[in-house]
Amino acid sequence: MCDDDTEQDNAAYLAQEQTRIKRRAWAKGAGAAIAGVVTGCAGAKTPDATASPAALSTTAVPTEVDPAATTNRMVTIETQAGTAEAFFVAPDSGQHPAVLIWPDVAGLRDAFHTMATRLAAEGYAVLAVNPYYRSSKLPVLTEFSEWQTEEGRAKIRPMIEALSSEGISDDGAAFVAWLDQQPQVDTQRKIGTTGYCMGGPFTFRTAAAAPDRVGAIGSFHGGGLVTEEVDSPHQLLAKMNAAALVCVASSDDDRDPKARTTLQEAAATANVTAEVEVYPAQHGWCVIDSPVYDPEQADRAWGRMLATFEAHL
């Protein structure tokens, strides 16, 4: 998940990107005419070399969402630990397979409303949850950049500490049960769950807690998938009846290359269909308000998610 080492890695990466962008901007000014003749892209836009990293990273946020084709509402869900808030969105009509989204360390916010709506437009009934409901009602943070401040981290860290493996498993089961009660959900189809950053391992716990209902999981730059604990997420593969899509950031793989192999071996032992791939992107690349959001690699991971859901839900 996002920790101090991850943030330092991403800061170094963004500093390098700023340098490369400035060099490209200078090169464009020096050789725009030649570039236009050779590549045919003289009209292409070059990012502003003075823009902030966050601005540079969100220039290609997906725009194909058609909110008019979906209906959304904020909901509350009773769990063993209290009342959880969540964002529910589904196509305007019909019944559809359901998907549960676990947000990253910055929690449920507008970025995940947008991502959930995009998925609903693909034909899914989608629930994006507030994983910190034990500690705080919404809003927790409004954008990822708040997590990167001292105040943001001071606010979030106690909330993370309040989470437990057992609690997340109970929550996952409760959210799945709630989805099955919604008229927009086709209960004859399996449920999918996706998680980003710290939400990655939560998908494993959800699938293990509701093995009869969860048919596919997607972990995107998930943290802590392989640990020494007896209930490490990779150990839960044997308790799941779900296909697993695990999209790993290259920066995470560099720090712990054995995790990828361990996941693959655990999936093979458990006879679980699993796709474990390292993407040439930084931790956080799939979330649209992340400073290292990578639209090309995010869309590739999104496509693999849709293919996994199509095959297993």
Write phi, then psi, for 288 (nearest 5 degrees).
-70, -20
Assign 19 to helix, strand or coil.
helix
Query: Are 104 and 146 contacting, i.e. CB atoms less than 8 angstroms apart?
Result: no
Q: What is the pLDDT of residues 231-264, one digit of tens each?
A: 999 999 999 999 999 999 999 999 999 999 999 9
Task: End-to-end CA distance of the chain: give it in Å, rounded.
Answer: 27
Using pLDDT thresholds of 50, 70 and 90, give the confidence band for residue 51. very low
pTM of the predicted model, to two decimals?
0.82
Q: How far apart are CA 202 and CA 198, in angstroms?
A: 7
The long-range contacts involving 150-153, CB below 8 angstroms and separated by at least 24 positions, are: 152/106
Residue 196 β-bridge partners: 220
Residues 19-49 have pLDDT tens digits of: 333 223 322 333 332 222 222 222 222 233 3
Averaged pLDDT score across all residues of the chain: 85
How confident is the model at residue 9, as a pLDDT?
Answer: 55
Give the pLDDT score at 26: 29
| Residue 35 pLDDT | 27
Task: Give residue-wise pLDDT tens across range 110-132.
Answer: 999 999 999 999 999 999 999 99
Instruction: Domain 63-312: state its class.
Output: alpha beta
> Tell me, what's the pLDDT at 156?
98
Residue 245, CA distances (Å) to 106, 111, 201, 248, 264 in order: 22, 22, 12, 10, 11
Residue 125 φ then ψ, to 5°: -95, 120
Domain coordinates of the chain in residue numbers?
4-54, 63-312
What order do you get walking across the sheet with 98-102 strand by strand?
70-79, 82-91, 125-129, 98-102, 191-196, 214-220, 243-249, 274-279
Query: In this predicted structure, what is the pLDDT of residue 8?
Result: 55
CA 194 from centre of chain:
6
- The string of pLDDT tens digits covering residues 132-145 is 999 999 999 999 99
